Amino acid sequence: MLEVSRLSKKYDSDDPSARLTVLSDFSLCVPTGGFAVLVGPSGCGKTSFFDILVGSASADSGNIAWNGVAVPNLCGLCAYMQQKDLLLPWLPLFENVLLPRRVRGGVSRDDIDEARALFVRLGLKGFEGFLPSSVSGGMRQRCALARTLMMRGECVLLDEPLSALDAITRRSLRELLLLLQSEFGKTVLMITHDVEEAIALADDIYVLGTQPMDIREKIRLSSPKPRSAAQEGFVAMRERIIESLAPAGASR
């Protein structure tokens, strides 16, 4: 279980009166094996929150706990997949996937077997020797997902992992993201601006307000996944979330 309790974060500026409060007493909980999605406007603080979780920034106050144990951050416990695939352009896809194991001390025969199995499972078999520039954006994101799994974190943070792709490719890759939960047993926390994507994938949706980031609404979804706009209640849920995201006082 990931528990975040009362995190606060301010950024300084040359003008002390203009300090930016990004988080103020922000809390959430993602159960072990759960898939939670954060939906909020640009600039509300979602990426800053992830920076704190992975340890690239520090909170001013608050606590993070993993499985009931207080931790300073999730470094070493989580794998982080971002919007850009960040593949090394001079390495073939297979070597890009093995990179986390090389960085952590070397590649074993088991690592190679695991990577080969991931290439099969994620539809990359036959492309092991191709450079990233030789394949499509969707295939690069599949490779990035395989590399994320090779990090072997218990928790996976996804920061807009499909947003750089076209709509058709993005939809085809949604089910692969669900494998993180259903097949690989990961606890997943994802950021997206795509309301339909959130409804398709999430167990829990956190609808966020602007800075300081707060939770306007938490929505629990229990129907089978992935969900589609053809399912009963999908459109109504989408409209409910969009309305909740609207700035206070905005016309409906």
pLDDT in tens, 115-168: 999 999 999 999 999 999 999 989 999 999 999 999 988 999 999 888 878 888
Residues 193, 160 contacting (CB under 8 angstroms):
yes
Q: In whole angstroms, what is the distance from residue 153 CA to residue 166 CA?
A: 28
pLDDT at 32: 93
Q: Where in the chain is the domain with CATH 3.40.50.300?
A: 1-77+154-252
Mean pLDDT for all residues in the chain:
89
pLDDT at 248: 57
Stretch (H or E) spanning 180: helix 167-182
Residues 107, 100 contacting (CB under 8 angstroms):
no
Residue 251 pLDDT class (50, 70, 90 cuts) = very low
pLDDT at 220: 94
pLDDT at 181: 92
Residue 252 pLDDT class (50, 70, 90 cuts) = very low
Residue 193 pLDDT class (50, 70, 90 cuts) = confident
pLDDT at 249: 45
Q: In whole angstroms, what is the distance from residue 142 CA to residue 105 CA?
A: 24
Per mean pLDDT, which range of 39-48, 64-73, 84-93, 175-184 is the poorest? 39-48
129: alpha, beta or left? (left if phi > 0; alpha if psi -120 to 50): alpha
Q: What's the rounded mean pLDDT across residues 228-239?
A: 88
pLDDT at 191: 93
Tokens read off for 122? 């994620």
- Fold exhibited by the domain 1-77+154-252: Rossmann fold (3.40.50)
pLDDT at 18: 62
Comparing CA positions, the residue from 198, 184, 116 lying closest to residue 153 is 184
Length of the chain: 252
Q: What's the rounded mean pLDDT across residues 26-47?
A: 90
pLDDT at 195: 92
**Percentage of the chain with pLDDT > 90?**
59
